[in-house]
Amino acid sequence: MRLNELRAGQSALIECVGGEGTLRQHFLDMGVIPGAEVTMIKLAPMGDPMELRIHGYELTLRLADAEKIGIRPVEKKAVPEKGREERKASDHPGLGEEGKFHPKGTGDPLPEGTLLTFALVGNQNSGKTTLFNQLTGSNQHVGNFPGVTVDRKDGVIRRHPDTLITDLPGIYSLAPYTAEEIVSRNFILQEKPHCIINIVDASNIERNLYLTMQLMELEIPMVLALNMMDEVRSNGGSVRVNEMEEILGLPVVPISAAKNEGVEELVEHAIHIARYQEQPARQDFCDKEDYGGAVHRCLHGIMHLIEDHARAAGLPVRFAATRLIDGDPEVESALQLQQNEKEMIEHIIVQMEEERGLDRNAAMADMRFSFIRKLCAKTVVKPHESREYRRSRRIDEVLTGRWTAIPIFLAVISLVIWLSIDVLGAPLQDLLDSGIQWLGQETDTVLERWGVAPAVRSLVVDGIFGGVGTVVSFVPIIIILFFFLSLLEDSGYMARVAFVSDKLLRHLGLTGRSIVPLLIGFGCSVPAVMSTRTLPSAHDRRLTIMLTPFMSCSAKIPIYAFFTVAFFPGHGGLVLVVLYLSAILVGILVALLSKKIHPDREPSPFVMELPNYRMPGAKNVAMLLWDKTKDFLQRAFTVIFVASIIIWFLQSFDFRLQMVDGEDSMLAQVAGLVAPVFAPLGLGDWRIVTALISGFLAKESVVSTMQVLNVTEALTTLTAISMLAFCLLYTPCVAAIAAVRRELGGRLAAWMVIFQCLIAWLVAWLAYLVAGYFIG
Ligand code: GDP
Ligand code: MG
């Protein structure tokens, strides 16, 4: 039987895992391995993907992928679960572990005053951000990892000035398949932090420990932070920390990042471990006894073979060996093996596969999970079905329910956009705008009194204050949209939204996760582009950003309203619907085209965890808002500001640098030059072109420029149609372009401007022809 045939509520054991490459490794890393028990929970409302429970957590899987996984019925008498018996609690020994792993205070500490570097590594939703914020308070710096747009956060641990902690992206394994995994792995291997702080969600411990196993192979000092212990305890679970420490050979500290419990102790351990450079005392997780020790012998054989190569390449030996078995091309080339060595290794692996009865990747994943199972049987008292889990299931009955999911989702997102833009954003924006205008006017009065030249006054008032106004006017919308977004994200709802909409977006070569940035695009492209950060693959990010301009942003509504009033009175609703739908349609065509052009591009897998719903932490939300606003202001300010001043300059001067009024300005002259290009659209009037150019700054300016230049008289119903079509699709405003430039780089941003203008021209031309046929 295949996994996709499983009915809701049924359980089965996994027999074999098919598929290949990225996706298969990802299955295995997420615990979809032969022998694991899965329970089918339900299908998404559109019938795909499915929601499964495995290793005590919830996972999404597309039906097409599930078809590659073979299952068999669960045996009636499963092995009785061990480790249930309670033991007496013993105190956690604390710093130094009673000298178990090292004679306390001896050893070879790093010299006083060394800057101790830490890497915070863990699965998504394990509480990394929460812990990071607890550890660093406000001493943090947000940036990018060089070369990739993956958020990088560095900070100093509070009260420990000579520390530096880096929050790495959430990952499930060290297999280099997603940008995040590569970033994290390279960071650890190349920058060699003094200590890894591995954060593990104790309420989902089996899956989380998988990464821990891989991290321990890296020969880097490490502490394990068992997070969410508050939830585990309140549900009757516990972890025998001392025994776990003994088995793993590294300090294990139970914490609750959200409640700030155990964090002090964690810091003490981490600093101690880093200073004394104590590596995990154990790396050898392959059990000699397991299945005749096939995996064990294979691994150790290869380790001996490649030891010198690994040392020469600066790679930890066991890590290199496991990655070699998994077939990691990067590690393979780094090791510079000779042909006969490669053959020998291949031979060893093939023999292991035969003896073990599993292929190499499955055998490795299985080796790790068997160790974890044994470890947990000895040290973890599993909580009874947790309150949080039951609550999540109840909430999910509605939020991902067959009939309720989509209406609720549409309602939520409309509410978010409406609240952000109309209720809160626009008034705040107006307030800020009038504040800045007032300030500009006051300044102007002062300047006039001083007898400052009119050109300079215009620069200050129209150029600088106008520019600042444009930048600042985006801030309220960004803050408010991100406030709601972070509520949705942190609570766990976003993962459900992705689950519900995956089927739709997959046709475009995207995954369900892109739905949120796209919908935010109807509000404002700037936060939409910024929010693509949460997408898992670089390809998804790029395509989603390229599609956001097709989600007609709210700043274009005044343009639509202006034309409706002038040319289609009484048909406002119809005009809006037609416009929005056509833009989406063009976007879909573009996405399909891109899929045609790059047929080799593997669709990113949609194997995603559905975390329990949790209350978002106020501190996390506040930090995020601060980050995003700062980010926007820092990066966008320069671009928007400079663009505003350039447009002001072009608008106010002629080519002899005399200050002039609209008609004779450089802008008008340039517009006159460009106008013939727009003639086929019926828009060959310089005033129209001027209005369009000013729309590059902000879409609202199109209307104001048209009013100033009295454009309406140059338009007919027919040209109004082509103008609407052009405005609908042409280049996003400079703020959006700045955001795109930040995510994708200058070349793609420039390309986007050109591409959008071409498409807009084409569509407007078609609209002009078709409408001309009917209107005559
Ligand atoms: P990240 O994805 O690893 O950065 O995880 P976050 O820090 O965003 O945390 C995910 C969710 O878990 C958030 O809703 C947090 O409020 C919540 N959370 C984090 N730590 C704890 C904890 O110790 N106990 C509980 N109950 N919730 C926590
Ligand atoms: Mg986070």
Average pLDDT over residues 622-644: 81
107: left (phi over 0), alpha (psi -120 to 50) or beta: left
Opening angle at CA 486, ends 485 and 489, nearest 5: 85
For atom 24 of ligand 1, which residue has the closest CA?
228
User: How high is the pLDDT of residue 627?
Assistant: 83
Distance CA 225, CA 211 (A): 13
575 Cβ contact list (under 8 Å, min separation 6):
560, 563, 564, 568, 724
User: Widest CA span of the chain, in angstroms?
Assistant: 95
Write the CA distances from 62 to 58, 131, 499, 511, 512, integer angstroms.
14, 32, 10, 10, 11
Give the residue whose CA is nearest to atom 6 of ligand 1. Answer: 127
Residue nearest (by alpha carbon) to ligand 1 atom 21:
258
* Ligand 2 center–CA 698 separation, angstroms: 33
Indicate the pairing of strand 252-254 with strand 222-227: parallel
Nearest CA to ligand 1 atom 17: 127
- CA dist., res. 94 & res. 262, Å (int): 11
CA dihedral 66, 71, 76, 79 (to 10 degrees): -90
**pLDDT tier at 662, thresholds 50, 70, 90:** low
Which ligand number lies closest to the CA of residue 617? 1
84 pLDDT above the threshold of 50 = no
Predicted local confidence at residue 76, as pLDDT? 62
| Centre of ligand 2 from the C-alpha of residue 548, in Å | 24
pTM confidence score: 0.85
* Ligand located closest to 388 CA: 1
Ranked by mean pLDDT, the top range of 104-113, 287-296, 452-461, 668-677 is: 668-677
Residue with tokens 């300059």: 649
Does position 86 have pLDDT exceeding 60, yes or no? no
Which of 81-90, 389-398, 481-490 is most confident? 389-398
What angle is formed at CA 623 by the lines to CA 617 and CA 624, rounded to 5 degrees?
90
Write out the residues surrounding ion ligand 2, Cβ under 5 A. 129
d(CA 208, CA 188): 18
d(CA 415, CA 80): 50
Q: What is the pLDDT of residue 399?
A: 93
pLDDT at 310: 94
| 87 pLDDT higher than 50 | no
Contacts of 340 (CB under 8 A, 6+ apart): none
What is the spatial distance between Cα 750 and Cα 740, in angstroms, rounded to a whole number? 9
pLDDT at position 91: 52
769: Cβ–Cβ under 8 A, 6 or more apart, which residues?
A: none
Q: Which ligand is nearest to the CA of 126?
A: 1
Distance, in Å, from the CA atom of 140 to the CA atom of 644, rounded to the nearest integer, reads: 32
Which amino acid does the sequence have at 266? L
Atom number in ligand 1 closest to CA 227: 23
The atom of ligand 1 lying closest to the CA of 261 is 23
Model confidence over 253-287: pLDDT tens digits?
999 999 999 999 999 999 999 998 988 888 788 87
Closest ligand 1 atom to 259 CA: 23
pLDDT number for residue 703: 85
Q: Work out which ligand 1 atom sits closest to the CA atom of 388.
A: 26
| Nearest CA owner, ligand 1 atom 19 | 127
Instruction: Tell me the β-bridge partners of 166.
Output: 119, 154
Per-residue pLDDT at 468 exceeds 90: no
Mean pLDDT of 738-753: 92
Best residue for ligand 1 mutational test, from 231, 614, 615, 620 (most atoms within 8 Å of Cβ): 614
Ligand 2 mean position to 125 CA, how many Å? Answer: 6
pLDDT at 85 over 70: no
Q: What pLDDT score does 352 carry?
A: 94
The residue length of the chain stands at 776
Mutational test site, ligand 1, from 120, 125, 493, max ligand atoms within 8 Å of CB: 125
| Bond into 680 cis (ω within 30) | no
Give 99's pLDDT tier (boundaries 50, 70, 90).
very low
- The percent of residues in the chain predicted with pLDDT above 90, rounded, is 48
pLDDT band at 153 (very low <50, low <70, confident <90, very high): confident
Contact 149, 228 (CB under 8 A): no
Provide the percentage of residues in the chain whose pLDDT is more than 70.
94
What is the dihedral angle through the alpha carbons of 52, 491, 741, 541, rounded to the nearest 10 degrees?
A: 10
- Which atom of ligand 1 is nearest the CA belonging to 615? 14
pLDDT over threshold 90, residue 629: no
State in Å: Cα 627 to ligand 1 middle: 18
Is 567 a residue whose pLDDT tops 80? Answer: yes
Residue nearest to atom 12 of ligand 1 (CA): 127
pLDDT digits (tens, 9 = 90+) for 361-405: 999 999 999 999 999 999 999 888 888 899 999 999 999 998 999
Over 60: is that where the pLDDT of 471 sits? yes
CA of 128 to the centre of ligand 2 (A): 6
Among 123, 128, 130, 496, which is best to mutate for testing ligand 1, by the most ligand atoms less than 8 A from CB?
130
* pLDDT for position 767: 94
Q: Which atom of ligand 1 is nearest to the CA of 131?
A: 7
What average pLDDT does range 575-590 have in this prediction?
Answer: 93
- H or E stretch covering 144: strand 140-144
Least confident of 114-128, 403-417, 693-707, 726-740: 693-707
From ligand 2's centre to the CA of 196, what distance in Å? 17
CA-132 nearest atom, ligand 1:
7
Nearest of 743, 511, 607 to residue 173 by alpha carbon: 607
Q: What is the pLDDT of residues 21-32, one digit of tens each?
A: 778 888 899 999
Ligand nearest to the CA of 130: 1
Please name the residue whose Cα sits nearest to atom 25 of ligand 1. Answer: 228
Instruction: Give the pLDDT score at 107.
Output: 65
Report, as an integer, the average pLDDT of 653-677: 85
Residue 49 Cα to ligand 1 middle (Å): 26
Query: For position 420, what pLDDT does the model report?
Result: 84
Helix (H) or strand (E) holding 164: strand 163-167
Q: Residue 97 pLDDT more than 50?
A: no
pLDDT category of residue 737 using cuts at 50, 70 and 90 = very high
Q: How far is the CA of 130 from the centre of ligand 1 (A)?
A: 6
Ligand 1, atom 2: closest residue by C-alpha? 125
- pLDDT (0 to 100) of residue 516: 86
pLDDT band for position 105 (cuts 50, 70, 90):
low
How many angstroms is it from 55 CA to the middle of ligand 1? 20
State the amino acid at position 526 in one-letter form: V
CA of 266 to the centre of ligand 2 (A): 19
Distance 773 CA to ligand 2 centre (A): 55
Counting from 1 in the atom list of ligand 1, the atom nearest the Cα of 492 is 14
pLDDT tens, position by position, 107-152: 678 888 889 999 999 998 899 989 999 999 877 777 666 666 677 8
Ligand 1 binding pocket, CB closer than 6 Å: 122, 124-130, 170, 227-228, 230-231, 256-258, 490, 614, 616-617, 620
Nearest to 471 by CA among 595, 359, 638: 638
Q: Which residue has the higher pLDDT, 16 or 83?
A: 16
Q: How many Å lie between the centroid of ligand 1 and the Cα of residue 127?
A: 4
CA of 167 to the centre of ligand 2 (A): 9
